[in-house]
């Protein structure tokens, strides 16, 4: 039977949540990945080094794989200062996460205005200390243009701080690809959902709230151009699932939160996708090698994930005590399965 081995797969954008939810979902990631960039938008957001280190402990305590590497992103708020940044860097944190206020789940502590003297100072210090700046780049304009409108801000930060690595998180708009090509210090993460789905998957037939995410899924052209970046494993992009669990009952409410829970079987789904396009040989770079380069990751314990070309099913639901989680592509078949 055909097999592939992936060395040190990394998920460069992940929501693991906290408490019971963390306990319920962490195995989906640690069984497939050797490490992940973990997002700080918890109910108590990760705004200090102390909170980040506690959160890292909580993740490791609940991880079966004790070598799993959580890279905790530190949430940029109005109170972040140089002293805290130095402390963070000295404690091994290296990723800052910028949320525009109100852009997404638990972003109420994010920045109201991005290019103020205060935040420019933070970016300057971040550059000096060698942080990576990960940005949820959306304006508060029309939903399909939000990422595009934010492009001016990416360009401005990239020009002003040419040594600061900036990540366009979950790139969703083909017009952002220009930024990657123009600025040496701009990179991107890509999700499985933005490279395989469009707005039609949310509202082209019946309304599918489980496909509602931020940034919103866009047009076939956006999907296809971003898929192409992934399939060629463009050296400036890495895989970041943005797997973001919300209870089914909350996803079905009015004013439901954005978020797609894509973690279950996601490496198998990626193998399927790359194989279907005749690019299986590029999967290793997309799910690991590019990220290692971009984020300068050198200290991973070696982990090999073997997949076999034998079909498997993505669970229809994950039953939790309180309620269910509905995984992306639930109940569908993938051609690859873990060994």
Q: Which residues are catalytic?
A: 242
Complex with ligand DOR: residue 9 or 100, whichever CB lies closer: 100
Q: Which whole-number Å values give the CA distances from 277 to 271, 272, 281, 310, in the listed order?
A: 10, 9, 11, 18
11 sits near Zn ion (criterion: CB under 5 A): no
173 sits near Zn ion (criterion: CB under 5 A): no
Give CA–CA dist 287/265, Å, rounded: 14
Options 69-77, 182-190, 252-260, 269-277: segment touching ligand DOR (CB under 6 A): 252-260
Complex with Zn ion: residue 147 or 242, whichever CB lies closer: 242
Give CA–CA dist 71/37, Å, rounded: 5
Q: Alpha-carbon dihedral of residues 43, 215, 224, 149, nearest 10 degrees?
A: -140
The interface with ligand DOR within residues 204-223 (CB under 6 A) comprises 213-214
What's the N-to-C CA distance of the chain in angstroms?
A: 11
When binding is defined by CB under 5 A, the residue of 173, 222, 242, 272 that contacts Zn ion is 242
Residue 28, both tokens: 């989906």
The answer to whether the Cα torsion of 257, 263, 268, 273 is positive or negative is positive
Note the helical H segments in 6-92.
Answer: 19-30, 49-61, 82-90
Give CA–CA dist 195/231, Å, rounded: 10
Minimum distance of Zn ion from residue 312's CB (angstroms) = 26
Q: Give 149: exposed, middle or buried? Use CB within 10 Å, 0-12, 13-18, 19+.
A: middle
In sequence order, what DSSP letters do the residues of 270-310 get, joined into one string?
HHHHHHHTT-GGGHHIIIIIHHHHHHT---PPP-EEEEES-
259 sits near ligand DOR (criterion: CB under 6 A): yes
Residue with the CB atom nearest ligand DOR in the bound state: 259
Residue 259 binds which entry of Zn ion, ligand DOR, none, CB below 5-8 Å type-dependent: ligand DOR
Options 55-63, 121-129, 142-150, 251-259: segment touching ligand DOR (CB under 6 A): 251-259
Complex with ligand DOR: residue 8 or 105, whichever CB lies closer: 105
15 sits near ligand DOR (criterion: CB under 6 A): yes
Residue with the CB atom nearest Zn ion in the bound state: 242
Residue 193 binds which entry of ligand DOR, Zn ion, none, CB below 5-8 Å type-dependent: none
Residue 104 binds which entry of ligand DOR, Zn ion, none, CB below 5-8 Å type-dependent: ligand DOR
Give CA–CA dist 134/189, Å, rounded: 9
258 sits near ligand DOR (criterion: CB under 6 A): yes
Residue 214 binds which entry of ligand DOR, Zn ion, none, CB below 5-8 Å type-dependent: ligand DOR
Give CA–CA dist 287/87, Å, rounded: 30
241 sits near ligand DOR (criterion: CB under 6 A): no
Whole-number CA gyration radius for the chain: 19
Minimum distance of ligand DOR from residue 4's CB (angstroms) = 29
42 sits near ligand DOR (criterion: CB under 6 A): no
Complex with ligand DOR: residue 119 or 134, whichever CB lies closer: 134
The answer to whether the Cα torsion of 167, 220, 334, 17 is positive or negative is positive
Minimum distance of ligand DOR from residue 140's CB (angstroms) = 14
Q: Which residues form the interface with Zn ion (CB under 5 A)?
A: 242
- For ligand DOR, the binding residues (CB under 6 A) are 15, 41, 104-105, 136, 213-214, 242, 244, 257-259
């Amino acid at each position: 039977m055909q097999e592939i081995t992936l060395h040190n797969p990394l998920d460069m954008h992940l929501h693991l949540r906290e408490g019971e939810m963390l306990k319920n979902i962490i195995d989906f990631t640690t069984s497939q990945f050797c490490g992940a960039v973990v997002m700080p938008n918890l109910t108590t957001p990760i705004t200090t080094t102390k909170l980040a280190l506690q959160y890292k402990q909580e993740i490791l305590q609940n991880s079966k794989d004790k070598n799993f590497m959580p890279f905790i992103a530190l949430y940029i708020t109005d109170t972040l200062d140089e002293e805290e940044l130095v402390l963070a860097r000295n404690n091994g944190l290296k990723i800052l996460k910028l949320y525009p206020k109100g852009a997404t789940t638990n972003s109420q502590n994010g920045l109201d205005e991005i290019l103020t003297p205060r935040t420019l100072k933070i970016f300057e210090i971040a550059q000096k200390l060698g942080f990576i700046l990960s940005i949820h780049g959306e304006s508060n304009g029309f939903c399909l243009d939000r990422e595009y409108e934010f492009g001016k801000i990416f360009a401005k930060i990239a020009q002003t701080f040419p040594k600061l690595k900036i990540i366009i998180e979950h790139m969703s708009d083909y017009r952002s690809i220009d930024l990657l090509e123009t600025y040496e210090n701009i990179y991107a993460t890509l999700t499985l959902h933005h490279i395989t789905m469009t707005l039609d998957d949310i509202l082209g037939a019946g309304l599918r709230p489980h496909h509602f995410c931020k940034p919103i899924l866009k047009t076939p052209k956006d999907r296809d151009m971003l898929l192409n970046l992934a399939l060629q494993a463009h050296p400036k992009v890495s895989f970041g699932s943005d797997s973001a669990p919300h209870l089914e009952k909350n996803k079905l409410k009015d004013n439901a939160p954005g978020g797609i829970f894509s973690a279950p079987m996601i490496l198998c789904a990626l193998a399927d996708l790359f194989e279907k396009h005749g690019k299986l040989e590029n999967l290793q770079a997309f799910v690991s090698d590019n990220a290692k380069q971009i984020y300068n990751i050198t200290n991973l314990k070696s982990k090999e994930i073997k997949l076999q070309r034998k079909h498997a099913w993505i669970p229809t639901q994950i039953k939790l005590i309180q309620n269910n989680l509905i995984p992306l592509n639930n109940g569908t078949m993938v051609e690859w399965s873990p060994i």
